[in-house]
Amino acid sequence: MWLSDTQKIGVGLTGFGVFFMILGILMFFDPGFIAIGNILFLSGLCAIIGVFKTAQFFMRKEKLRGTAAFLGGIALVLVKWPMIGIIVEGFGFMNLFGDFFPVVVGFLRKLPFIGPVLSLPGIAQLVDVVAGKQLPV
């Protein structure tokens, strides 16, 4: 599957957003870095799947609790409560994107260096709990 130029830019924006969020956490919950990361992540998501589909995804009835928590966490970060904001945002992220975890774990298990690490006895059980059970295909 080929990506359009806008989608390629969106992947870059999303990647930089995740990078700045991690950097903000490593810098002892610096609200500036975390806010920049949130803005880049959301703009990258809009560039990848489009503004209308992004709004549809966030406004689905079964995703409203996750959307409220995610946007509430962003608001808490913007009012300089980054530690609580990241926790609330993480809860919203898990509710919004938790359905994709089995797909991501399945992809990571096929990678050359990461796959064998994820198959180690203690780590395999932990990853299965986090990702949820999958049917063998």
Which tens digit of pLDDT belongs to each residue from 62-75? 999 999 999 999 99
pLDDT tens digits, one per residue of 23-77: 999 999 999 999 999 999 999 999 999 999 999 999 999 999 999 999 999 999 9
**Number of Cβ atoms within 10 Å of the Cβ of 28:** 8
| Three-state secondary-structure class, residue 17 | helix
Take residue 80 and report the two structure tokens written for it: 């300089």
